[in-house]
Amino acid sequence: MELIVLGSGTITSPPERNPSGYLLKEENHILLLDVGPGIIRQLKMLPLDLTGIGVIVITHFHLDHCSDLLALLMARHLLRPGSNKELTIIGPQGLKAWFESQAQWQGKWLHNALPVLVEWQGADLQADGWYISAEHTAHTANSLAYRIERHGKSLFFSGDTDWQEALIPLARNADLALIECSLPDQLKQEGHLTPKETGRLAREANVKHLMATHIYPQNDTSDLKDRVAAYFSGKITVAQDFLQITI
């Protein structure tokens, strides 16, 4: 499968780092992971039919991870009415209530063709051939990290999290691990990881390839890779928007 980074930054990042979003693709099976502000524009930069996205996975309801969701659904409706009915949206508990609160003023275009909404309840999920497991992160009351597998290949995505022991088994031996790396060690903020913790999670989970992402401007320096490498000796990539990787 192919991963395309759509957003490696957060809400305060410069335009080169859009807030959170990643596209996973295998043949005509397309999964979108997070839909932060600007992701719809990032998607339009790709040779991609927006109505071809079969699954959207949301880590949590902070706006840097989900604010473009309804805009994307509107675009899909206008491109091909009814296409939202073919879409599955997976997210934390509260997804249905959140969706209803956002969607209540949208009218018929949305309500006559609702996507399938699936709240993670602790059991593994399957959608459009993607195998999806999740674990709570140390960030908001219901925030999630995910492991997504297809044809024996695995992607781990930490979402937003503080150090969380329970993520180690979810990330174990992942072919690619997207792990948040928000702020430098000396500016540690509760609810987020620093290069030391990002590297430690990759090391303890023995991931094959670490991609540091969700990078705040204060952490976005040319030595970021070295600061992570001090704690993880495997392959490291610092995420860049539109970077494409075969997993």
Residues that bind Zn ion (CB under 5 A): 62, 64, 160
In terms of C-beta distances under 8 Å and separation of at least 24 residues, what long-range contacts does 99-105 make, across chains too? 102/69, 102/70, 103/70
Q: Which residues of 99-109 are buried (b: 16+ CB within 10 A; e: fewer)?
A: beeeeeeeeee
Alpha helices in the chain (DSSP H): 39-44, 63-66, 69-79, 95-103, 108-111, 167-171, 195-205, 224-229
Q: Which is nearer to Zn ion, 51 or 213 (CB)?
A: 213
Min. distance of Cβ 137 from Zn ion in angstroms?
9
Min. distance of Cβ 18 from Zn ion in angstroms?
12
Closest-approach residue to Zn ion (CB): 62
Min. distance of Cβ 59 from Zn ion in angstroms?
8
CB 83 within 8 A of CB 51: yes
Q: Which is nearer to Zn ion, 130 or 216 (CB)?
A: 216
Q: Which is nearer to Zn ion, 64 or 149 (CB)?
A: 64
Q: Which is nearer to Zn ion, 86 or 220 (CB)?
A: 220
Min. distance of Cβ 214 from Zn ion in angstroms?
6
